[in-house]
Structure 1
């Protein structure tokens, strides 16, 4: 039985991912802002995603004897009560940029910092962070969505940089960014009507594809950015 830790356990994709992993025999532990136990999770560790909160979460994981060999970060925001993607420079607001970077960049960075200490170092651990194709600087041909794009691009740099450091400390580790595709969830709901038919996927489809990418990873893939189909995306 493999221990798997998923941050952002309340998201539709995280729950679909937990269902798939549980069905194949993995023991799935979730990190979430509330402690409500969700189907297919062995345990939910309540965490505010602060330094103090993550320290307590790590202590709980260690106390329970969990040894994750896979960590998946599903934390992220595209829109909520505070922000919507900007279409023009004139739409940029300080508080919105601050919010995008706090959720999409800073929280995953803190998770990287804390969670690596509880990984099963003897299992060639994998860490997969959900990023976005629109966070690719080279692939940006449409513009817009300033805060979301920039915060995901910054996340990608953090992943790339940490992968270099962690490879020196943990034999066989693989830290990657993954674009899961546009998944039908609360995150994408306001934009569903604008997405071409066949370009939006159910949480179950996205979870299957994400698992396929993760299962195919090796140490040689450390520090890379993957599309859901397994191809590499440009930074």
Structure 2
């Protein structure tokens, strides 16, 4: 069973839990018998039917909160609720991410002429700035003297060293920014909260709404179901050590150069 390092009654928070990888993280964390409360956040809990269904069958272990990573006040409000409940988080996973939005005309850029300030700004807000604001707000819940992990879903395409195909300016840059923020956070927490390990995680191409428009070019054996992706990422999290803090790791546990 994964998460065996979390003590009995330890708590978990999944940010961006309404669907895809985040929702599957909630499912699998609920299956860990030693985990107490699982906190799940998303922009509109009332519209997250799958998440609400898990909550109804959780016997009170799953608590759902509104949190929009582009709304600083909502982040602070969610953190205040967890703190007031005495929440001691042993694992916090940032799973919300943005690659495309048809309604707003946001899509991965193939050429420089397709770059827009709107897309760059929005992807940075969701993919990079939001997770760091979550870290700031929830740090008091992670600083309890026991081992804890703060993780963010990143992407291999955010690696500058690995960029050989170009394109996808906004997504690549926002994930590269996230990786740098994770590294910088790890340096600070080594002094302030040395038992908190920070990591950026590359999940591989997963069968979710985020990757759906691009799956035609992905070999079947390289397209993971959310269940497999989360199982693999939890195994990576289980294997993290303090010396790994600040790193970017692939779904198979291999480090990826920034």
Do the structures match in fold with TM over 0.5?
yes
Measure how far apart 1:109 and its partner are: 1.5
Measure how far apart 1:145 and its partner are: 0.5
Q: Is the 8 Å Cα contact of residues 135 and 149 (structure 1) preserved in structure 2?
A: yes
| TM-score, with structure 1 as normaliser | 0.96
Match in the other structure for 2:173? 150
Pairing 1:117–2:125 present:
no
Runs of 4+ in 1 over 4 A off after TM superposition: none
Matched residue of 2:222: which SS? coil
Which deviations, in whole Å up to 9, do the C-alpha atoms of 1:88-124 show, x marking residues without a partner? 1111111111111111111112111111122252212
Match in the other structure for 2:24? 16
Matched residue of 1:123: which SS? coil
For residues 92 and 201 of structure 2, what CA distance do their matches in structure 1 show? 13
Match in the other structure for 1:104? 127
| TM-score, with structure 2 as normaliser | 0.88
For residues 125 and 194 of structure 2, what CA distance do their matches in structure 1 show? 31
For residues 159 and 48 of structure 1, what CA distance do their matches in structure 2 show? 20
In structure 1, list runs of 5 or more residues that go unmatched: none
Paired residues in the alignment total: 235
For residues 160 and 143 of structure 2, what CA distance do their matches in structure 1 show? 33
Change (3 A) 1:18 1:79: same
Pairing 1:7–2:15 present:
yes
Measure how far apart 1:42 and its partner are: 0.8
* Candidates 101, 107, 131, aligned match of 1:80: 101
Deviates most, 59-68 or 82-91: 59-68
Q: Is the 8 Å Cα contact of residues 38 and 44 (structure 1) preserved in structure 2?
A: no
Match in the other structure for 1:45? 65
Measure how far apart 1:35 and its partner are: 2.5
Which deviations, in whole Å up to 9, do the C-alpha atoms of 1:184-229 show, x marking residues without a partner? 0111111111112211100000010010000111211111110010
Q: Is the 8 Å Cα contact of residues 143 and 196 (structure 2) preserved in structure 1?
A: no
Match in the other structure for 2:43? 33
Equivalent residues in 2 for 1:1-235 (5 A)? 1-25=9-33, 26=35, 27-36=37-46, 37-39=52-54, 42-49=62-69, 50-81=71-102, 82=104, 83-235=106-258
In structure 2, list runs of 5 or more residues that go unmatched: 1-8, 47-51
Q: Could you say what the CA RMSD is over the residues aligned between the two structures, in angstroms?
A: 1.3
For residues 155 and 190 of structure 1, what CA distance do their matches in structure 2 show? 23
